[in-house]
């Protein structure tokens, strides 16, 4: 469910016409719906009513401060994978004790910063990280609450680039090695072993991989408790998929029922890290048609957004619905077209064989389900400034990230002193 709908033949985000936003901020731009974010968060959390659980929004899905703040006001914590994401969560109002620091490559400086802030949990992914965190915590006279991230060697049946729970992936610690590392953690200063963590991937559309992974985790916790470890927190990660098109992923209620059935006997506090399932369908990328180009066998719609703005189709072969911002008043003949951007790469294709009504220059299109892994993965490739982000709330909207100007883009570079002379005037 989302709050994007046609009204008087114009696509709206809640009570605001997307065309009016385009007139105010130009294109392309990302548009997020507050009502959709709030609805998805409530549906997800209600699936765990009566369960002792924390919900830590996965900031990597969409790190805009306004999005994080919207969720923090609903009671969400944050799952972060860098000091930068931790700073974003803190700036958005997330309490330090409700932040989980995940990720396979936390630098010592990042660990020290997180210790100083008093974050709630570190998900440790290797012996080397464990030793480093212990040294830093003990040296600062602090105590880090940790969970080890376990690798269950489970195929999440998702895209190879977003699966994280197989033995060949860089994430987590396999069993029985993890058992030895728990014993080591119990002996190290500055650490408090509180839990076990798992995360097997993203955009998972079946319950089977979750059942296998969580079953593995429950058995591991039972063994660890038998070894004398006080495991009282289960971090189940995220990964629940959303419908981009024809997919029919499990509902949060179905997912919650599975989690309850498998984990209830342990009596642990749960940590859940939803990301895409909260914000994915809460965002659109609005783009403008620049040119139409027909070849002998293709019709290309060239738009002003590109793979630097929205990487998912190029990186993951992701398919997104594309719809006109102005709804045709009559049912037209649809033509399959490729939506492409201005980047000098053949991979700069945002959608292929999309059936759309006849288009002309300056028509607006909306790429749906772009709220997760959209703006957060953007770059300035080809000298293209990063686009604006807008948050809608009822009949109001606000620019929550201004469009980068060319002057701001140029200002990020610095010339060394030996290149300061103007080449047009010759060497000094």
Does residue 157 have a pLDDT over 70?
Answer: no
- Mean pLDDT over all residues of the chain? 94
Out of 99-108, 251-260, 325-334, pick the least confident. 325-334
Residue boundaries of the structural domains of the chain: 4-31+280-410, 34-279
- pLDDT band at residue 169 under the 50/70/90 scheme: confident
What is the per-residue pLDDT for 214?
Answer: 95
Tell me, yes or no, if 56 is annotated catalytic.
no
- Which residues are CB-contacts of 426 (< 8 A; sequence separation ≥ 6)? none
What is d(CA 4, CA 6) in angstroms, rounded to the nearest whole number? 7
CATH architecture of 4-31+280-410: Beta Barrel (2.40)
Instruction: Provide the pLDDT for residue 162.
Output: 58
Two tokens at 336?
């399959």
Structure tokens at 379: 């770059």
115-128 average pLDDT score: 97
- Residue 332 has a pLDDT of 77
Question: Under DSSP, is residue 408 helix (H, G, I), strand (E, B) or coil?
Answer: helix
Reported as a pLDDT band with limits 50, 70 and 90, residue 171 is: confident
pLDDT for res 181: 96
Banded model confidence at residue 172, pLDDT cuts 50, 70, 90 = confident
pLDDT the model gives residue 427: 55
Confidence of residue 154 (pLDDT cuts 50, 70, 90): confident
pLDDT digits (tens, 9 = 90+) for 37-67: 999 999 999 999 999 999 999 999 999 999 9
3-state SS of 2-29 is CCEEEECCEEEECCEEHHHHHHHHCCCE
Got the DSSP string for 175-211?
TTHHHHHHHHHHHSTTEEEEEEE---BSSB--SHHHH
- pTM of the complete model: 0.95
Which pLDDT value is given to residue 223?
96
Tens digit of each residue's pLDDT (9 = 90 or more) over 212-223: 999 999 999 999
Lowest mean pLDDT among 32-36, 198-202, 255-259, 339-343: 198-202
Could you tell me the fold of the domain covering 34-279? TIM Barrel (3.20.20)
Torsion-angle region of residue 157: left (phi > 0), alpha (psi -120 to 50) or beta? Answer: left
Cα–Cα distances (Å) from 47 to 200, 207, 250, 255, 265, in that order, read: 20, 15, 12, 8, 18
pLDDT tens-digit readout, 136-149: 999 999 999 999 99
Tell whether omega for the bond before 243 is within 30 degrees of 0, i.e. cis.
Answer: no
Q: Please answer whether residues 275 and 68 qualify as being in contact, where contact means their C-beta atoms are separated by less than 8 angstroms.
A: no
- Give the percent of the chain with pLDDT over 70: 96
pLDDT digits (tens, 9 = 90+) for 296-322: 889 999 999 999 999 999 998 999 999
The band of 262, judged by pLDDT with boundaries at 50, 70 and 90, is very high
Predicted pLDDT at 330: 78
- What is the pLDDT, as a whole number, of residue 170? 75
Q: What pLDDT does residue 67 have?
A: 98
């Amino acid at each position: 469910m989302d709050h994007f709908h046609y009204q008087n033949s114009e696509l709206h985000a809640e009570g605001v016409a997307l065309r009016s936003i385009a007139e105010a901020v130009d294109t392309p731009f990302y548009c997020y719906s507050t009502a959709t974010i709030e609805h998805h968060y409530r549906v997800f959390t209600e699936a765990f009513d009566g369960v002792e659980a924390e919900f830590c929004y996965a900031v990597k899905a969409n790190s805009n401060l306004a999005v994080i703040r919207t969720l923090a006001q609903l009671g969400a914590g944050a799952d972060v994978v860098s000091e930068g994401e931790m700073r974003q969560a803190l700036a958005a109002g997330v309490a330090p004790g409700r932040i989980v620091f995940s990720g396979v490559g936390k630098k010592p400086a990042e660990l020290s910063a997180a210790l100083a802030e008093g974050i709630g949990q570190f998900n440790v992914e290797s012996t080397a990280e464990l030793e480093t965190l212990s040294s830093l915590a003990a040296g600062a006279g602090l105590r880090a609450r940790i969970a080890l991230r376990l690798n269950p060697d489970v195929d999440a049946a998702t895209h190879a680039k977003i699966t994280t729970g197989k033995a060949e992936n860089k994430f987590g610690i396999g069993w029985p090695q993890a058992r030895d590392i728990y014993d080591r953690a119990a002996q190290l200063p500055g650490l408090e072993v509180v839990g076990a963590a798992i995360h097997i991937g993203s955009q998972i559309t079946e319950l089977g991989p979750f059942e296998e992974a969580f079953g593995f985790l429950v058995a591991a916790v039972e063994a660890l408790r038998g070894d004398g470890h006080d495991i009282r927190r289960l971090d189940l990660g995220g990964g629940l998929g959303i419908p981009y098109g024809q997919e029919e992923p499990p509902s949060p209620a179905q997912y919650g029922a599975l989690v309850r059935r498998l984990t209830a006997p342990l009596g642990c506090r749960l940590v859940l890290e939803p990301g895409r399932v909260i914000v994915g369908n809460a965002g659109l990328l609005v783009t403008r048609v620049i040119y139409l180009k027909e070849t002998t066998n293709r019709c290309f719609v060239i738009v002003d957004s590109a793979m630097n703005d929205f990487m998912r189709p190029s990186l993951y072969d992701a398919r997104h619905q594309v719809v006109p911002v102005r709804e045709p008043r009559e049912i037209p003949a649809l033509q399959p077209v490729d939506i492409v951007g201005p980047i000098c790469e053949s991979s700069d294709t945002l959608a292929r064989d999309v059936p759309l009504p006849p288009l002309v220059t300056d028509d607006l299109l909306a790429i749906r389900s772009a709220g997760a892994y959209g703006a957060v993965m953007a770059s300035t490739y080809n000298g293209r400034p990063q686009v604006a982000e807008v948050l809608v709330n009822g009949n109001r909207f606000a620019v929550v990230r201004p469009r980068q100007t060319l002057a701001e883009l140029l200002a990020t570079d610095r010339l060394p002193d030996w290149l300061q002379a103007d080449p047009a005037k010759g060497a000094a």
